[in-house]
Amino acid sequence: MNAPLRRVGVVVIVLFGLLFANLNRIQAYKADEYRTSDYNGRVQVAKYDRKRGNIEAGGTAVAVSKETDGELKYLRSYPGDAKYAHVLGYEPVNGAATGLERSENDFLAGTSDQLIVNRLRDMVTGDRTAGGNVLLTLSGRAQDTAYDELRNNKRGASKGAAIAVDPRTGAVQALVSMPSFDPNTLASHDTGEASAEYNKLEQDAGRPLRNRALAEVLPPGSTFKIVVAAAALENGIGKDTNIPAGASYTPPTSGEAITNAVPSICPQSQVTLMKAVTDSCNTGFAKLGVQLGPDVIKEKARQFGFEQEDLTVGRLGEGGHAVEASRTGTMENPEGGADPAALAQSSIGQRDVRMTPLEGAMIAAAVANNGSQMRPYLVRQLLAPDRTTVYDTADPRELRRPISGQVAADLRDMMVSVVENGTGRNARISGYTVGGKTGTAQSAPDRADHGWFIGFALDSGGNPISAVCVVLEEAGSGGSAEAARIAGQIMRAAIAEPGGR
């Protein structure tokens, strides 16, 4: 009997030991996680006991907290409804916040170390420390224009995105994704209503919760020719150098011919690089890409920002919205050598090339800014509850320098020619120099083409004011022309009201 009892006793002691160890693990290592969990009801009540700070754009509060008579004392509200949804995200009662509401949560909630002086002062006065205020770089006028133009585009496209940045600083002037959503319903204190609305949005085939400006990667079509043109300029080809062209080109190893959008585009055997960009000559760029080779094309794309995994847009260099990496895809055959067919298609922005709208805007911004690509950011200033400055983004940072000043100047000339003489005429702005590149990208055999435009606006002194990218998904014929028109309207609005830097 003694042996079995001893075994049972040992088992009980071991179980008590494990229980004691787990209890200590929870108290020592998991306490903060459980205490701050979004699903902890007591935490929720405490969180809503403090007024959350405003998020402001263009001098207007676009996220505020309103006092209520309920157990949760403040209701998060978004006066702009769907217009700023993909910038702000939302702050739900149940679940985790998204967007800037998440990345700036500690400051907005008043729990940030940056507000410790305010909390110490309020301990003396007995006040409840309110959250701090986040001021954005957005231009209210540019944001309004981007939202209205995308929603009412003349091609009837229901999906798309637009983003504009200040090329000199990287400050985001506008960011809109379509379709959008109303974050007010997701922040409702009626958790059943909020949950039902979230499930509805999640199941929507249009994916309205997706931030297309930063996270959607699509074939960029002819906008990618700017990257290929930059590689050519760095490899002995000038803007006035003749390159092979023609009405049709069938790459070696491929039975599929590459043609131009219409027969009147570069039917001659040779055209200048300037003419190839202006008229968007597919055959010229397909042959040029094969001539340059995959290593040159992929390296130049990488220098512009393709394949970059860790970019975020929020506070300058300190988190925010995650950005999906743009990709060049495979241009080699299984043996590792160049695949001419894949390379030719990739050089006109098809095949496996994928780009975010942000990357398109950053390419245009680097060209406009003499080859310097600035780090994009959305948060320009943090203010304490008493409106004193806690953080100021007065020192913009260069992200990379993909091209020299001379290459940038040549690309500017070619992109200006696109707007003045080529496919981008809809982007023209009276009194300003506008450059750009249109793109039409095949999506799938059973779907209409995407329409793209990337571009920039310069003042009379040649100083860059705005760089923009607009994409209209499945817009079909005329989609790139409509994207150019919308881009021109957004840049015009940014000129009138540049936004915060």
Q: How far apart are the first and last CA of the chain?
A: 82
CB-count burial class (<10 Å; 0-12, 13-18, 19+) for 420: middle
Rounded Cα gap, residues 191 and 168, in angstroms: 44
- Judge whether 436 and 453 are in contact, CB under 8 Å: yes
CA-based torsion, 135, 141, 143, 144: positive or negative = positive
Rounded Cα gap, residues 342 and 350, in angstroms: 9
Which residue is it, tokens 């609005």? 493
How far lies 497's CA from each of 216, 463, 488, in Å? 28, 16, 14
Helix (H/G/I), strand (E/B), else coil: 117? helix
Question: What stretches of 166-291 adopt beta strand conformation (E)?
Answer: 172-178, 242-244, 248-249, 258-259, 270-272
Amino acid 149 reads E
Q: What are the backbone angles phi and psi of residue 385, rounded to the nearest 5°? A: -55, -30
Helix (H/G/I), strand (E/B), else coil: 99? helix
Rounded Cα gap, residues 272 and 281, in angstroms: 10
Output 260-269 pairs: Cβ under 8 A, ≥24 positions apart: 261/440, 269/244, 269/245
Amino acid 459 reads D
Other CB atoms within 10 Å distance of the CB of residue 192 = 9
How far lies 305's CA from each of 66, 159, 328, in Å? 41, 24, 11
Concerning whether 112 is annotated as a catalytic residue, the answer is: no
Rounded Cα gap, residues 122 and 118, in angstroms: 6
| Catalytic residue selected from 222, 347, 417, 480 | 222
Catalytic positions, written as ranges? 222
